Amino acid sequence: MTIFTYARVSTLDQDTGYQEEALKAAYPDAVHRQEKKSGTSTKGRDILELLLDMMGKDDKLVVWKLDRLARNVGDLCRIVERLTEKGAALEILDQRIDTSTATGRAFLQMLGVFAEFETNLRKERQLAGIKQAKAKGIHMGRPKLLTDKQKAEIRQLYTKGTTPKVLAEQFKVSRATIYNVTAPTKGRAAS
Active site residues: 10
State the Cα–Cα distance between residues 65 and 169, nearest whole angstrom: 49
SS (H, E, C) 153-168: HHHHHHHCCCCHHHHH
State the Cα–Cα distance between residues 158 and 163, nearest whole angstrom: 7
What is the SS3 assignment for 31? Answer: strand
Among 42, 115, 46, 109, smallest CA distance to 77 is for 109
State the Cα–Cα distance between residues 175 and 105, nearest whole angstrom: 57
Q: Which residues pair with 180 in a beta bridge?
A: none
Q: Which residues of 158-191 are buried (b: 16+ CB within 10 A; e: fewer)?
A: beeeeebeebbeebebeeebbeebbeeeeeeeee
Give the contacts of 47 (CB within 8 A, at least 6 positions apart). Answer: 6, 33, 34, 35, 37
